[in-house]
Amino acid sequence: MAEYEKEPTVGWDVDEVRRAVEAQEEELTPRRRQTPQKRTRGRRKRRGMGAAGPVGCLVWGGAYALFVVAAATLLACAGWMMASDMFAFRNEPTEIKATIEIKAEDDLGSVASKLHDAGLIRYEWLFKLFARFTKADEKIGLGTYTVNSDMDYHALISAMRSSSGNMNADTVNVMIPEGYTVRQIIALLAEKEVSTEEKLLDAAENGDFTYSFIDRDSNSLDRLEGYLFPDTSQFYIGHKPEAALDKLLSNFDRKLTSERLEEIEQSEFSLKQIITIASLIEKETDGTDQRLIASVIYNRLADTGAHGTYGVLNIDAALLYALPEHTGALTNADKEIDSPYNLYRHAGLPPTPIANPGLKAIDAALEPEQSNYYYYALGKDGKHHFSETLEQHNAFLASGDYAGSGT
């Protein structure tokens, strides 16, 4: 019985083991097929995420770094350009010079525009920002200033500073007529409250004016005569007196263009003599005959006796300058006064101009009419009548057309 039981038992065990192994292999086979597929799909999904991977991180990180560097570079360049403008770090081959005129209607914006148009600044907005921060409107004053491209913002503002007032100060426009004397101009400025007459007179006599045409060794009021250019000018109320007079002197200096200075150099007369002749023309003219009156003056100055004048000008306006309180017509007694301004007794020109001439009179003195006239007299028609000879002149004086004065 032992043998019978042993044989089938062993066979069964073997068969069972084999079937178990086969069954186990069948179970393992689908798992092995599925596992690689699942892993493959998982890896493909992770690759598709991009930025989550190390390569994506490098790409985006590099782009961000480039953006930061580019932005920083642009900001640095912009900062340098603004700083170079503010501190005048420029590379222009030559210095730029400009004349900037500040008027009462100007503000910081218009001042910035003028500086920009002159090529002195690049960024108007930056200058305005700087100017507001430094309260430049309380420092920049009305006037005309010479500035250049070597000046930074601070230097530009300092160069346009006026001790007489600022853009916030009250101003007044004063129209100074042609032919006004220094005393008349001072009285007019005082009337307009530019300063007091006392302070203006003191400034005229003792002010330190650096123009070459002013006699700095003199303390006479006459040293400014002829050089306070008649024009409409703007002043502060309570203007510093020396600065107010300097404004008029500066205007005269600007009128001395290179062409006019060249004409003076080519003439036989000095600048002072030309302005003196112009002042005589200004006081004698009716407004239309400046060049003809200039011809009479030059003809008389050159006459050595052939035409009976002997260099004597016989101009009433010069004698009246020496008699500021005089009223009415000159008498024969007046014409005997011993004064260098009495051109009835003294040949040639008076020692100084007798008024402040305008441009027409100055240009007439530089370019007189060519004529043979040596005499003129005012007619009742309000016009001067010119004569070549003394006989012609006397005939007009005896006529009913003569108005009562003449040379």
* Identity of the amino acid at 295: S
Share of the chain above pLDDT 70, in %: 75
Question: 286-318, pLDDT tens digit by residue?
Answer: 889 999 999 999 999 999 999 999 999 999 999
Per-residue pLDDT tens over the stretch 61-84: 666 777 776 666 666 666 656 666
CA 107 distance to own-chain centroid: 13
Specify the pLDDT at position 149: 87
Top pLDDT among 203 and 82 is at 203
What lies within 8 Å, CB to CB, of 25 at 6+ separation is: none
pLDDT of res. 35: 47
Q: How far apart are CA 129 and CA 131, in angstroms?
A: 5
DSSP letter, residue 176: P
Distance CA 280, CA 335 (A): 17
- In the chain, the N- to C-terminal Cα span, in Å, equals 183
Contact criterion met (CB below 8 Å) for 229 and 356: yes
Report how far residue 275's alpha carbon sits from residue 312's, in angstroms, rounded to the nearest whole number: 18
User: How far apart (Å, rounded) are the C-alpha atoms in residues 123 and 363?
Assistant: 42
- Cβ–Cβ under 8 Å, residues 300 and 284: no
Give the integer Cα–Cα distance in Å for 50 and 36: 22
* pLDDT tier, 330 (very low <50, low <70, confident <90, very high otherwise): confident
Beta bridge partners of 102: 143
- Residue 396 · residue 402 · CB < 8 Å: yes
User: What residues pair up with 145 in beta bridges, in sequence order?
Assistant: 100
- Return the pLDDT at 406: 63
* C-alpha–C-alpha distance, residues 377 and 383, integer Å: 8
Phi-psi region of 401 (alpha: psi -120 to 50; beta: other; left: phi over 0): alpha
Q: Quick one: residue 314, left, alpha or beta (phi over 0 = left, psi -120 to 50 = alpha)? A: left
The yes-or-no verdict on residue 96 having pLDDT over 80 is yes
pTM, rounded to two decimals: 0.66
User: Crossing angle for the helix pair 359-366 and 271-284, nearest 10 degrees?
Assistant: 120
Cα separation, 39 vs 37, whole angstroms: 5
Q: What average pLDDT does range 324-336 have in this prediction? A: 88
Q: What is the pLDDT of residue 106?
A: 84
Distance between CA atoms of residues 96 and 53, nearest Å: 60
> What percentage of the chain has pLDDT greater than the value 90?
57
Q: In whole angstroms, what is the distance from residue 257 CA to residue 264 CA?
A: 11
Residue 189: is its pLDDT beyond 90?
yes
CATH topology (fold) of 97-159? Dna Ligase; domain 1 (3.30.1490)
Distance CA(62)–CA(72), nearest Å, equals 15
DSSP one-letter code for 232: E
The answer on pLDDT for 60 being more than 80 is no
Q: Is the dihedral of CA 299, 270, 176, 329 positive or negative?
A: negative
In the block, tokens 């004569």 appear at 387
Query: How far is residue 228's CA from residue 136's CA, in Å, rounded to a whole number?
Result: 30
Which secondary structure element, helix H or strand E, spans residue 157, and what is its range?
helix 153-159
7 SS3 class: helix
Query: Looking at the chain, which residues constitute the CATH 3.30.1490.480 domain(s)?
Result: 97-159
pLDDT at 287: 87
Instruction: State the pLDDT confidence band at 19, using cuts at 50, 70 and 90.
Output: low
CA distances from residue 81 to 94, 126, 218 in whole angstroms, order as listed:
19, 11, 52
Return the pLDDT at 1: 44
| pLDDT interval class at 369 (50, 70, 90) | very high
Q: How many other β-carbons are positioned within 10 Å of the β-carbon of residue 392?
A: 15
